[in-house]
């Protein structure tokens, strides 16, 4: 299985396309934060936290660990900033960090089944008046997370980007740094794995 540990040079790929600073206004903040301006990092967090939250929520669902995962994502970003050269898009990198942190969390939870039964925190959960519907939603989220945790990192990444976050193959290609055709083939294989996993878990635990 491919390691999902972020390496420092993840943040500054050699062949990264030139970033138009007008398109990526976070770049200036990231550079200021890299140079030791803590206020800039705070601002970076304030401007990107909603995006990070959406990605994490989509990957790990309504988990009580979301707060820790959000913090962990930004800590990884903070560490990576030290080698940031301003050549890659900050939001892209944050996207990737959040997906990785979320998937790592799902895998670690799979290894520790006693932690797998997360209670839904009331503050962040969707408010549904229908208990049956709420149970269905919860079970579906649980199925997706279990299926993701069984997939290889490469496939899970592409699947999350495309089918959970709605990114286009071209955008995913930039995120995972591989050709668009590779993204498409990975996506197909990921869908096969996902379908198989969901069918298996449905049989084991009842359909949503």
Partner 1 sequence: MSHLSHEELWEFAQRADAAPAQVPEHLAECDACSDALADIQGAQHVLALLPPVPELPKAMALRVGEALAEKADASLLRSPLRSWFAQLFAPRLVLACAAVLLAVVAAALYARGQSQVPPPPELAVATPAPTPVAEPAPVPPLAPAPEVPATKTLTASVATASRASSQKKPVQKAQRLEQGTTVATEAKGSLWLNLPDGSRAGLTSSSQLTLAKLEAKALDLNLQQGSVALDVPHRAERLLTVTAGVVTVKDLGTRFLVSKNDAHVLVAVQEGEVEVVTPNSTQVVKAGHAVSWHDGRLDILNWDTGEKPREAAPAKASPSKLHDDDDEQAAAQPAPAVEPEAEAAENETAENDDDEEPVQVTPAPGESSADEWVLPQQVKSPKTPAHVPVVKAKRRGLFNLTVLEEKLEELTRAFAGVPLRESLVKSIARAVDHADCAHALVMADAWLRDPVTSLIDEPKWRRSVLTQKLRCFTAQGRTQEALDVKRELDGP
Distance between CA atoms of 171 and 54, rounded to whole angstroms?
Answer: 17
Token readout for 189 is: 């294989």
Q: 20 or 170: whose CB is closer to partner 1?
A: 20
The position carrying tokens 């390496």 is 7
66: contact with partner 1 by CB under 8 A: yes
65-33-90-191 Cα dihedral, nearest 10 degrees: -20
**Could you say which DSSP state residue 35 is in?**
T
71: contact with partner 1 by CB under 8 A: yes
Query: Residues of 1-18 as b/e, b for ≥16 C-beta within 10 angstroms?
Result: eeebebeeebbeeeebee
31: contact with partner 1 by CB under 8 A: yes
Q: How far is the CB of 193 from partner 1 (least distance, A)?
A: 10
12: contact with partner 1 by CB under 8 A: no
Kindly indicate which of the ranges 5-13, 14-22, 99-107, 172-180 contains the residues binding partner 1, using the contact rule CB under 8 A.
14-22
65: contact with partner 1 by CB under 8 A: no
Distance between CA atoms of 98 and 96, rounded to whole angstroms?
Answer: 5
Q: 114 or 119: whose CB is closer to partner 1?
A: 119
> Residues 143 to 182: which contact partner 1 by CB under 8 A?
143-144, 163-164
Q: 2 or 38: whose CB is closer to partner 1?
A: 38
CA 200 to each of CA 107, 111, 146: distance values in angstroms, whole numbers, following the listed order: 18, 18, 11
45: contact with partner 1 by CB under 8 A: yes
Kindly indicate which of the ranges 25-33, 96-104, 107-115, 174-182 contains the residues binding partner 1, using the contact rule CB under 8 A.
25-33
75: contact with partner 1 by CB under 8 A: yes
Distance between CA atoms of 38 and 34, rounded to whole angstroms?
Answer: 9
Residues contacting partner 1: total by CB under 8 A: 63
CA 164 to each of CA 7, 75, 132: distance values in angstroms, whole numbers, following the listed order: 25, 24, 23
43: contact with partner 1 by CB under 8 A: yes
The position carrying tokens 């939870």 is 109
- Return residues touching partner 1 (CB under 8 A): 20-22, 25, 27-29, 31-43, 45-47, 49-50, 53-54, 57-58, 62, 66-67, 70-71, 74-75, 78-79, 81, 123-126, 128, 136-137, 140-141, 143-144, 163-164, 188, 191-192, 194-196, 198-199, 202, 207-208
């Amino acid at each position: 299985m491919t390691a999902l540990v972020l390496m420092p040079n993840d943040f500054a790929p050699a062949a990264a396309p030139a970033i138009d600073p007008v398109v990526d206004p976070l770049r200036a903040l990231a550079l200021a934060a890299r140079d030791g301006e803590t206020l800039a990092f705070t601002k970076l967090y304030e401007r990107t936290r909603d995006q990070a939250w959406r990605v994490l929520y989509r990957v790990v669902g309504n988990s009580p660990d979301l707060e820790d995962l959000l913090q962990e994502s930004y800590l990884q970003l903070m560490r990576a900033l030290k080698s940031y050269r301003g050549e890659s898009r900050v939001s892209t990198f944050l996207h990737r960090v959040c997906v990785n942190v979320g998937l790592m969390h799902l895998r670690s939870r799979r290894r520790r089944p006693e932690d797998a039964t997360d209670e839904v925190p009331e503050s962040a959960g969707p408010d549904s008046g229908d208990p049956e519907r709420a149970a269905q939603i919860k079970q579906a989220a649980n199925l997706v997370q279990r299926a993701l945790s069984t997939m290889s990192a490469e496939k899970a990444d592409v699947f999350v980007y495309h089918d959970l976050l709605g990114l286009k193959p071209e955008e995913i290609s930039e995120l995972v740094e591989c050709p668009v055709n590779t993204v498409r083939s990975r996506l197909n294989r990921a869908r096969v794995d996902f379908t198989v996993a969901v069918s298996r878990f449905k049989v084991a635990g009842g359909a949503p």
